Amino acid sequence: MIDFTFSEEQDLFRKAARDFAENEVAKYVPEMEKTGKVPAGLVKAIGKAEMLAITIPEEYGGLELGYTARLIALEEISRISVATAMMLQVFALGIEPIVKFGTEEQKKKYLPGLATGEKLGTAAVTEATGGSDPTGIRTSYRKDGDDYIVNGRKCFITNSHIANTLVVLAKSDENPKDFCAFIVEKGMPGFKATHEEHKVGMKGCNTGELSFEDLRIPKANLLGQEGKGLRVTMAAIGEIGRGGMVGCALGLQAACLEESIKFANDRILYGKPISKLPEIQGKIADMRIDLEAGRLLGYRAASLQDSGTPASNEFAVAKYYTTEAAIKAAKTSVDIHGGYGCMEEYAVTRFYRDAAVLGPSAGTSAIMKVIIGRWALS
Amino acid sequence: MKIVVCVKAVPDPKEADKIRIDPETKTLMRGDVPIVLNPLDKHAVEAAVQLKRKYDATVTILSMGPPAAGNIVKECLALGADQGILLSDRAFGGADAYATAYTLAKGIEKIGEFHLIFCGMASSDGATEWVGPQVATFLGVPVVTMVNEIMDDSNDEWLVKTAWEDGHRKVAVQLPAVLTVAREINKPKSLSFSGIIKARKKEIITWSGDDLGVSPEMVGFKGSPTIVGGFGTLETGRNVEFLEGTAEEMAERLVGILSDSGAIG
């Protein structure tokens, strides 16, 4: 029989993550909305709360709790701040390739610092000419003795300006079918974080551009095999990236539902709360149905990932479903709030803006359908 | 030093508005309100864990409740306690403060030697504040309630500070003793992932009425002298009245409304 219940320990993980989100994250949200900047105190709190250590093996200073625990944490944090969950989910995008493809030396060198938050990670794949189709990237590498020289630019990189350990994808300037993934450290000569984006939502989660000018990378920083870098970054994006977006979307759905219920119970119309109106009940029911279904899809995929079964297709389904549902939920929650839904004092306005960023992140819904279609037809 | 912390699983106070009262049985209908660790008990656990760090004390969590309350005990272990004991038996159901205190005291007797017992000052659901003092009475040890600071713990006679009307009092108490704590005593640490992992190796023992050697007549509903005469739900509503007349007339009417509603004396 299939067991759909969380274990006692997983319930405690959720409680720990919820406490962290409500007590340590929530207080930074107004500042993030106002400045659009990442509060230093928040990043420190994320490290202290061991949120970066969840998927890192114990022998490298992590907690080795797996991907269901990660999804639980992301959902709970996103319920309070989608921007913080997004930041956290992308830290893991910088961590996972090192866990999966790093040499023993690389793991020992980078993972303990990434587990505590002393170092922050990200993955830099997307460029103006390629993101979901990474073969279109133009950032190139050439060999120079034992080193690699990288030139190019990356865009829409989450944590671009705060990360100090970056997994960067580059294409061979000799053979366009060969790619390399490198561990780049902030401060290496030729590395520069340049333009910072001003997104419509997820304010306070840093997104920007990177520039590499004759960036010299030692051979010791090659991640995986030379020429096989696509596999390194895609493996991380397919499961960690999509899975992370599922966590962000589920948290946002839950937040939309909670705020809508609260408002619908408080707002009096025709002498009674609007929650008594069938039209409002129908909207709230739709949100709840989507949340229940999204959780089943997301946690099933995470459970597969925990068991070592490839789950990138299942995550594509969950990513498509939950991000679309989150966009719908945000719109519905604004609708339920009526005129108040246009006022920034109400959290639903933030949810609406955050939802707009969820769809394109880690692959648009259209790309998810391409992946799911190929899977179904294979 | 051996410390026992008595904790209670309560309906989540954040969702208290969902709790209803069964008009027939006069018991609480929790619905789907989740069970959580009584908020003040978290301060009691933190106080014990701080002493554990200071004196290498052993901290035992003791709770009476259904098997589901095991989650709360587990949470206390994740917060740093060493072992957990759950007193669970159908015969314990329906206990009032007196029968609860009796059962907890029997559990403590079975644990054996102790130097200190911590309780939260009150539970968020019952809020009688009786269980701690009654446990102390059953065990024949002194009790200090509403402790908000341990001022001196350097010898067998401790000095503690407690809330006292508009001020405070300092109380010297000989160990072993029961202390019920107020929220001001500390700021409890948050549940951590690594704490949860450490709790994997910590044991939770379940004791039944037979294990404690108690008579079914002394525990649970049968052992409870409290008789609930009635329960009521405070009905709240809102009325709208547009005041008319001069400013003085409207002010007079407003004072009358507030006075009639009991908002002002």
Q: Residues A109-114: what's their mean pLDDT?
A: 97
Q: Is residue B66 part of a domain?
A: yes
B204-207/B83-87 β-pairing: parallel
CB contact under 8 A, A50 and B194: yes
Exposed, middle or buried, B44 (CB in 10 Å: 0-12/13-18/19+)? buried
Predicted pLDDT of residue B15:
84
User: Under a CB-based contact definition with an 8 Å cutoff, are residues A236 and A91 in contact?
Assistant: no
What's the distance, CA A67 to chain centroid?
13
Gap from A60 CA to chain B (nearest CA, Å): 14
CA–CA dist A343, A332 (Å, integer): 15
- Give CA–CA dist A321/A365, Å, rounded: 9
Give yes or no for A46 touching B (CB within 8 A): no
Closest CA to A246 of A313, A298, A302, A312: A298
Are B22 and B141 in the same domain?
yes
Each residue's pLDDT tens digit, A177-189: 999 999 999 999 9
Strand partners, A207: A158
Nearest to B190 among A13, A19, A63 (CB): A19
Task: Please give the single-letter amino acid code of residue A127.
Answer: E
Strands B20-21 and B9-11: unpaired
CA A314/CA A327 separation, integer angstroms:
20
Q: Give me the percent of chain B exceeding a pLDDT of 90.
A: 74
Give the number of beta-carbon pairs within 8 Å between A and B: 44
**DSSP secondary structure string for all residues of A253-300:** HHHHHHHHHHHHHH-EETTEEGGGSHHHHHHHHHHHHHHHHHHHHHHH
| Tokens linked to A307 | 């068991």
Q: What is the pLDDT of residues A60-76, one digit of tens each?
A: 999 999 999 999 999 99
Q: What is the pLDDT of residue B155?
A: 84
Whether the predicted pLDDT of A148 surpasses 80: yes
Specify the DSSP class assigned to residue B65: S
Contacts of A50 in chain B (CB under 8 A): 192-194
Answer for the pair A48, A25: CB distance below 8 angstroms, yes or no: no
Distance CA B33, CA A169 (A): 49
Q: How far apart (Å, rounded) are the C-alpha atoms in residues B264 and A30? A: 37
Is residue B207 located within the same domain as residue B248? no
Take residue A240 and report the two structure tokens written for it: 């960690």
Angle between helices A104-116 and A82-101 (to 10 degrees): 160
In a domain, B230, yes or no: no
CA-to-CA distance for A285 and A308, rounded, in angstroms? Answer: 35
Element (H, E) at B139: helix B131-139
Same domain, B189 and B62: yes
* Interface mutation target, options B36, B72, B190, B193, chain A, most CBs of A under 10 Å: B193
Residues of B in contact with A54 (CB under 8 A): 193
- Domain extent, residue B248, equals 235-265
- For the segment B150-183, what is each residue's pLDDT rounded down to a tens digit? 999 988 899 999 988 889 999 999 999 999 999 9
Residues B175 and B261 in one domain: no
Residue B170 tokens, joined: 């300092």
At residue B8 the predicted structure's pLDDT band, cuts being 50, 70 and 90, is: very high
Q: Is the pLDDT of residue B127 over 90?
A: no
Cα of first residue to Cα of last residue in chain B, in angstroms, is 52
**pLDDT at res. A156:** 94
Which residue pairs from B232-240 have beta carbons closer than 8 angstroms and sit at least 24 positions apart in sequence?
A: B232/B21, B233/B20, B233/B21, B238/A268
Question: Total domain count for chain B?
Answer: 2
User: B108 and B188 share a domain?
Assistant: yes
Contact residues, chain B, for A16 at CB < 8 Å = 78, 190-193, 195-196
pLDDT in tens, B35-87: 899 999 999 999 999 999 999 999 999 999 999 999 999 999 999 999 999 99
CA-based nearest residue in chain A for residue B71: A8
The phi, psi pair for A145, rounded to 5°, reads 65, -125
CA distance B144 to chain A (A): 31
Asked if residue B48 is part of any domain, the answer here is: yes
Query: Average pLDDT, stretch A47-72?
Result: 96
Instruction: Tell the CATH topology of A122-227.
Output: Butyryl-CoA Dehydrogenase, subunit A; domain 2 (2.40.110)
Residue pair A133/A104 in contact (Cβ under 8 Å)? The answer is no
ipTM of the complex as predicted: 0.88
Distance, CA of A241 to CA of A134 (rounded, Å): 14
Nearest to A305 by CA among A129, A99, A138, A155: A99
User: Is pLDDT of A45 > 80?
Assistant: yes
Q: Is residue B149 part of a domain?
A: yes
Which residues have C-beta within 8 Å of that of residue A338, sequence separation ≥ 6? A267
Helix (H, G, I), strand (E, B) or coil at B206: strand
A201, A327, A361: which is closest to A252 by C-alpha? A327
Is B70 a member of any domain? Answer: yes
Best residue in A12, A46, A65, A76 to probe B by mutation, most B CBs within 10 Å?
A: A12
Name chain B contacts of A74, Cβ cutoff 8 Å.
none
- Give span(s): CATH 2.40.110.10, chain A: 122-227
Range with lowest mean pLDDT among A1-15, A40-54, A272-286, B189-203: A1-15
pLDDT of residue A44: 95
> Chain A window 222-281: which residues touch B at a Cβ cutoff of 8 Å?
268
B contacts of A8 (beta carbons < 8 Å):
70-71, 74
Query: What homologous superfamily does CATH list for A231-377?
Result: Butyryl-CoA Dehydrogenase, subunit A, domain 3 (1.20.140.10)
Say yes or no for a CB contact (<8 Å) between B71 and A8: yes
Within a domain: residue B253? Answer: yes
pLDDT interval class at B230 (50, 70, 90) = confident
B129 versus A28: the higher-pLDDT residue is A28
Residues of A in contact with B196 (CB under 8 A): 9, 12-13, 16
Instruction: Name every chain B residue with its beta carbon within 8 A of the beta carbon of A49.
Output: 190, 192-193
Nearest 5°: the CA angle B173, B175, B176 is: 130
Q: What is the pLDDT of residue A371?
A: 95
* CATH, domain range A8-120: 1.10.540.10
Q: What angle do CA A213, A126, A49 make, to 5 degrees?
A: 100
CB contact under 8 A, A49 and B190: yes
Judgement on whether residues B40 and B111 belong to the same structural domain of the protein: yes
How far apart, in whole angstroms, are the C-alpha atoms of residue B120 and residue B39? 8
How many other C-beta atoms can be found within 10 angstroms of the C-beta atom of residue A158? 27
Q: Where in chain A is the domain with CATH 1.10.540.10?
A: 8-120
**B65: exposed, middle or buried (C-beta count within 10 Å: 0-12, 13-18, 19+)?**
buried
- Alpha helices by DSSP H, chain A: 8-20, 29-35, 40-48, 67-80, 82-101, 104-116, 229-235, 242-266, 278-306, 312-337, 347-358, 365-377
Of B37, B46, B196, which to mutate for an interface test with A (greatest number of A Cβ within 10 Å)? B196
Residue B223 placed within a domain: no
Q: How far apart are the first and last CA of chain A?
A: 29
Structure tokens, A277: 């109106």
By Cβ distance, the residue of A16, A65, A268 closest to B190 is A16
State the pTM of this model. 0.89
Q: Is residue B207 within 8 Å of B87, Cβ to Cβ?
A: yes
Determine, for residues B190 and A53 on separate chains, whether the beta-carbon distance falls below 8 Å: no
pLDDT beyond 70 at A268: yes
**Region A309-325: what's the mean pLDDT?**
97
Tell me whether residues B191 and A63 touch, CB distance under 8 A.
no
Reference B78, options B239, B223, B202; nearest CA is B202
Looking at residue B21, its pLDDT comes to 78
B76 and B6 within one domain: yes
> pLDDT tens digits, residue range B235-247?
777 777 888 899 9
Supply the CATH number for residue B77's domain: 3.40.50.620
Q: State the average pLDDT for chain A.
A: 95
Average pLDDT rounded to a whole number, residues B184-197: 95
pLDDT at site A102:
96
Task: Decide if pLDDT at A124 tops 70.
Answer: yes
Q: What is the DSSP string of A31-52?
A: HHHHH-SPPHHHHHHHHHTTTT
| Whether residues B74 and B193 fall in one domain | yes
Q: Are residues B70 and B15 in the same domain?
A: yes
- pLDDT for the residue A30: 96
Q: What is the pLDDT of residue A1?
A: 63
Q: Helix A67-80 to helix A278-306 angle, to the nearest 10 degrees?
A: 150
DSSP B23: T
Say if CB A96 and CB A234 are below 8 A apart: no
**Beta carbons of B193 and A65 less than 8 Å apart:** yes
CA diameter of chain B? 75
Pairing of strands B167-174, A191-196: unpaired
In a domain, B33, yes or no: yes
Backbone angles phi, psi at A165, to 5 degrees: -130, 110
Residues 186-225 of A with CB under 8 A from B: none
Identify which of B70, B192, B238 has the shortest CB distance to residue A16: B192
Q: B216 preceded by cis ω (within 30°)?
A: no
